[in-house]
Amino acid sequence: MFANFDFDVIERSWEYLFFTGMTFTVQLTVLAMLGGLMLGTMLAMMRLSKHSYFSLPAAAYVNLIRSVPLVLVIFWFYFLVPYIGAWMIGADQPVKVGAFASSLITFTLFEAAYYCEIMRAGIQSVPKGQTAAAYALGMNYRQTMAHIILPQAFRNMLPVLLTQTIVLFQDVSLVYVLSITDFVGAASKVAQRDGRLVEMYLFVAAVYFVICFALSLLVKRLQGKLAIVR
């Protein structure tokens, strides 16, 4: 079955695959994770607010984003962000955003909806008595969240947050539809150039499996170490 396969194509192109493709994939994953986590935490706090003018818009945003396919959101922002930018600054022509910036905005806003729900669960997992104790010590809402609630919420939800980041790492491959040279895009270019689609896509699948499986094992170990006996 594999007699006619040319796996040497991997050896000939591994530098391009990893130093160009994988570097882009990891960079976009890390930046989108950081941006999505910050925005998601803000959204979680808004959703838990007693004021409807905070909670309702946040809930609407989260439900909207989680109800549409990611690839559709990628196309939305890739084609609409330049026009939105022109409208915001009053320009006559669409603003040149670029594929990377558009992808980063897309994944940050999309992942924020999922990080929001994770952080909301984390905040709600902290006993309410700790909030009351913080107020009794004279702390205000901001100090209570920053020093008491959020650190514990991050600890409680860290394994789930990392699991969502693994999903994000996999989802970044969808930028291939915008002809961006991520790991999948780089492999596709090599495959089409050398006529070795099967070999390259098998290699891509194997690399993703190894990375994601290894990260999953690390998350599982971390979950055991962070487990709090109550």
pLDDT tens digit sequence for 96-131: 877 888 899 899 999 999 999 999 999 998 888 888
- Residue 191, pLDDT > 60, answer yes
Q: Is residue 3 part of a domain?
A: no
The C-alpha angle with vertex 48 and arms to 161 and 103, in degrees rounded to 5, equals 45
| Residue 14 within any structural domain of the chain | yes
User: Is there a domain that residue 53 lies in?
Assistant: yes
Return the pLDDT at 63: 95
Look at residue 56 and tell me whether its pLDDT is greater than 70.
yes
Q: Is residue 122 part of a domain?
A: yes
**pLDDT for the residue numbered 228:** 54
pLDDT at 46: 93
Establish if 208 belongs to a structural domain: yes
Domain presence at residue 154:
yes
Q: Which residues of 55-93 are buried (b: 16+ CB within 10 A; e: fewer)?
A: eeebeebbeebeeeeeeebbeebbeebbeeeeeeeeeee
Whichever domain contains 187, its CATH number is 1.10.3720.10
Q: Is 218 among the domain residues?
A: yes
Kindly indicate the confidence band of residue 88, based on its pLDDT and cuts at 50, 70 and 90.
confident
* 216 part of a folded domain: yes
Query: Average pLDDT for residues 68-92, to the nearest whole number?
Result: 84
Which is more confidently placed, 7 or 133? Answer: 133
pTM: 0.89
Identity of residue 109 = L
Structurally, the chain folds into a number of domains equal to: 1
> What pLDDT is attached to residue 86?
82
The boundaries of the domain holding residue 150 are 8-226
